[in-house]
Structure 1
């Protein structure tokens, strides 16, 4: 079968290789991959790939071999999955606890856009607690996670202010429920019950200053790739008793969240934002554009196996 493997080259970060099909563990199903969606964090891993790195965590396709232990969907089921790695290939072995069955109304392209970004959004908002009637500030809102967070938080009754780099991207976030769109953290008006911060660098101290006394800042990313510095004495002059909490989405099983995301999409309550769909022969270019923030929302690559 064909698989995309890292090259270590900046402008051509992956290339095709012919390799054997993966042999599933007893609790894994073998999936014929129809579509996959790279994440921006994966583009950073490709800059200095570790030996044996097999990228690919967001896949959708068809079960061609059920798990030997009898768990999970059977042969012929259409599924979305979140394997630990190895999804940028014709076939991927996926633990059954991290699969969800797709209804007929959801195609593989939309499904592939769900896993990492959607699971992150669900778990992030769950960590934030009840949002009804609360003011929420979201930085770095133009990426895949930001679109899901905006739509889900607004639907939960939050008043959401988003930070987006461009008016075009901000317009889409407003359509998804954002009450206010600003282009810099400093421009966000007033104080917020919850701040969801994903940029790092100099934006983190600004975001902290926007939290109301006793409020919560959840730090879930560092898209700027610049370390943040907090000045204790500046904090003394800001809101009192602010909680700053590190957040990372990871931790299987992912199946329950995937099933929730699929249900929300099927009910028309969640809308994957897909900025590019292309054949997987164009993966290298898509990865560069994703890394350089030239794609709004998600990029999805198709293998040609889509039915």
Structure 2
């Protein structure tokens, strides 16, 4: 089979190679990959790839061999999956607890755009607690996670202010239910009950300053790739008793959350924002554009058999 592997070349970060089909473990299904979605964080890992690194965590496809232990979907089922690695290939072995069966109304391209960003959004909002009637500030809102958080939080009754770099990207977030759009976190009209911060660098301190006394800031990313610094004495002059909470999406099995996401898509209550769809022969170019923020929302690559 064909598989994409890292090259270490920033201009062309992946190339095709021939590899044997993966051999699934007892609790894994063999999936014929029909579409996959790279994440911007994966593009950073490609800059200095570890030996043996096989990228690919978000995929949709067809189960061609069910798990030997009897768990998970049967052969022939269309699925979305979030395996730990190896999804940028014609076939991938995926733990059955990280798979969900796709309903007929959800195509492979939209399904592949769901896993990491969608699971992150669901779990981030659970960590933030009930948002009904609260003012929420979301930084870095124009990426895949930001779109899902905006739509889900607005549907839950939150007043979302989305921080995005350009008016064009902000207009789409308003369509997803954002109450307001700001292009600079320092100019967002606070204070906010909950701040969801994903950019790091100087933006963390600016976002913290817009949190109400007793409010919550959940720090879930560092898209700027710049370390954040907080001055204790500035904190003393800012809002009192703010809680800062670190968040990471990984943990419990992903299958149930994937099932929730595909159900919301099928019901028309969640809309994956896909900024680029290409054949996987163009993977290297798409990965560079994703790394350099030239793609709004998600990028999805198809192997030629996507439905």
Q: Which category of TM-score, normalised to the shorter sequence, fits these structures?
A: over 0.9
- 2:222 — aligned with what? 222
Shift of residue 251 of structure 1? 1.6
Off by >4 Å, runs of 4+ in structure 1: none
SS for the counterpart of 1:137 is strand
Shift of residue 172 of structure 1? 0.2
Q: Which runs of no fewer than 5 residues in structure 1 stay unpaired? A: none
Q: Is residue 142–residue 164 contact of structure 1 (8 Å, CA) maintained in 2?
A: yes
SS for the counterpart of 2:136 is strand
Aligned: 1:4 with 2:4: yes
Shift of residue 306 of structure 1? 2.0
- 1:91 — aligned with what? 91
RMSD (Å), alpha carbons: 0.5
Aligned: 1:50 with 2:50: yes
Partners of 2:213 and 2:134 lie apart in 1 by 14
SS for the counterpart of 2:275 is strand
- 1:28 — aligned with what? 28
Partners of 1:287 and 1:306 lie apart in 2 by 19
Partners of 2:84 and 2:34 lie apart in 1 by 18
Deviations 1:244-271 (A, max 9, x none): 1110101241000000000000000000
Partners of 1:251 and 1:273 lie apart in 2 by 25
Partners of 1:305 and 1:187 lie apart in 2 by 46
SS for the counterpart of 1:194 is strand
Q: Is residue 24–residue 30 contact of structure 1 (8 Å, CA) maintained in 2?
A: yes
For 1:128-143, list aligned pairs within 5 A: 128-143=128-143
- 2:38 — aligned with what? 38
TM, length-normalised to structure 1: 0.99
Aligned: 1:158 with 2:153: no
SS for the counterpart of 2:269 is coil
- 1:250 — aligned with what? 250
Partners of 1:252 and 1:127 lie apart in 2 by 14
TM, length-normalised to structure 2: 0.99
Residues matched between the structures, number? 307
For 1:160-179, list aligned pairs within 5 A: 160-179=160-179
- 1:279 — aligned with what? 279
Q: Is residue 55–residue 85 contact of structure 1 (8 Å, CA) maintained in 2?
A: yes
Q: Which runs of no fewer than 5 residues in structure 2 stay unpaired? A: none
Q: Is residue 97–residue 252 contact of structure 1 (8 Å, CA) maintained in 2?
A: no
- 1:194 — aligned with what? 194
Shift of residue 186 of structure 1? 1.1
SS for the counterpart of 1:104 is coil
Shift of residue 187 of structure 1? 1.2
